[in-house]
């Protein structure tokens, strides 16, 4: 690990001031990716701005037909939140199946979404529910947020403050996970919001994406049989030591069917 200066911010203004004053600063949320990266000397920031003391980035509240979750809320707290369990059970279940107890205790919603790991679970929920990402500068729709592997629409120094999730009529998330990391080799989040259906796929490709053909089929008939005959193109999918692109394409279809079945329960 290279030398850096550490700052524990106590407010958004404090965090912004520390970041702006740094030569090459980074924000620290849960640190599930950043800390291992630093330990392996794969990054060399001049300053680390710790957000764990910023209360404005915490909290889970109901706002009409939306659930607003602060960026620094842990996976564990999302999973256990009565508000989330009541309004969007699929999101609570997703959060409760991330990693292991240590990861769920330290990892945060905002950190995961900002990192945009291609195998992360939260991007599937954000895109699948059509959530809105609130930053310290603007609002960004989920469809505009995830741009490429480990890349998002966030500008340099832009900070996620909260994410607003609409309450769906029904939703479910099912993944085929790596047995060691519990990252998604392929995961599918299906949500019915009024007359619209959204199907988000994570883990299979370079970044989370929507499967439009499945969405159209489920808008006509929200049933697992509606997905019969729909093929998943393996061309743009990842192929690595964990699974080939062809196998991931197969998994996407299977996970989608299972998600619809789960959503109907």
pLDDT tens, 113-168? 999 999 999 999 999 999 999 999 999 999 999 999 999 999 999 999 999 999 99
Single pTM value for the model: 0.96
Q: What is the spatial order of strands in the sheet that 209-210 belongs to?
A: 170-177, 184-193, 196-202, 209-210
Region of 229 please: left (phi>0), alpha (psi -120 to 50) or beta: left
How many angstroms separate the CA atoms of 79 and 3, rounded? 36
Q: Is residue 34 a contact partner of residue 28, using CB atoms and an 8 Å limit?
A: yes
Query: Cα-flanking dihedrals φ and ψ of residue 14, to 5°?
Result: -65, -45
Q: What pLDDT does residue 135 have?
A: 97
Residue in 197, 200, 186 with CA at minimum distance from that of residue 248? 186
- On the 0-12 / 13-18 / 19+ scale of CB atoms within 10 A, 221 is exposed
Residue-wise pLDDT for 71-106, tens only, equals: 999 999 999 999 999 999 999 999 999 999 999 999
- Give helix 89-96 / helix 122-129 axis angle, nearest 10°: 170
How many angstroms separate the CA atoms of 118 and 20, rounded? 29
Across the chain, where does the E strand assignment appear? 5-8, 25-28, 47-50, 60-63, 66-70, 132-135, 139-141, 146-148, 151-152, 160-166, 170-177, 184-193, 196-202, 209-210
Residue that has been written with the tokens 């960004």 in this structure: 140
What tokens appear for 169 in the block? 């009529």
How many angstroms separate the CA atoms of 249 and 238, rounded? 9
Mean pLDDT over all residues of the chain?
97
- On the 0-12 / 13-18 / 19+ scale of CB atoms within 10 A, 212 is exposed
Domains in the chain (CATH in brackets) are: 5-50 (3.30.43.10), 57-166 (3.30.465.10), 170-264 (3.30.390.50)
Cα separation values, 121 from 9, 50, 177, 223, 251, Å: 28, 23, 10, 23, 15
* Banded pLDDT at 242 (limits 50, 70, 90): very high
* Banded pLDDT at 172 (limits 50, 70, 90): very high
């Amino acid at each position: 690990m290279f030398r850096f200066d550490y700052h524990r911010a106590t407010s958004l203004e404090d965090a912004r001031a520390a970041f702006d004053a740094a030569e090459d600063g980074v924000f620290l949320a849960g640190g599930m990716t950043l800390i291992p990266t630093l330990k392996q000397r794969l990054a060399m920031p001049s300053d680390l701005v710790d957000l764990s003391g910023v209360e404005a980035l915490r909290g889970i509240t109901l706002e009409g037909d939306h659930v607003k979750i602060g960026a620094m809320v842990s996976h564990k707290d999302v999973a256990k939140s009565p508000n989330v369990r009541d309004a969007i059970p699929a999101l609570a279940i997703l959060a409760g199946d991330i990693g292991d107890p240590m990861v769920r205790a330290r990892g945060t919603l905002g950190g995961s979404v900002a990192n945009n790991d291609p195998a992360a679970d939260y991007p599937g929920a954000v895109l699948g529910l059509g959530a809105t990402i609130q930053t310290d500068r603007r609002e960004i729709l989920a469809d505009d947020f995830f741009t490429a592997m480990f890349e998002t629409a966030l500008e340099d120094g832009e900070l996620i403050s909260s994410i607003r999730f609409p309450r769906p009529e029904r939703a479910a998330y099912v993944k085929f996970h790596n047995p060691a990391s519990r990252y998604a080799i392929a995961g599918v989040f299906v949500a019915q919001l009024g007359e619209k259906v959204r199907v988000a796929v994570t883990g299979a490709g370079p970044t989370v994406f929507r499967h439009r053909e499945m969405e159209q089929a489920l808008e006509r008939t929200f049933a697992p049989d509606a997905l019969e005959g729909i093929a998943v193109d393996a061309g743009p999918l990842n192929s690595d030591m964990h699974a080939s692109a062809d196998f991931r394409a197969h998994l996407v279809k299977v996970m989608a069917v299972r998600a619809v079945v789960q959503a109907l329960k």
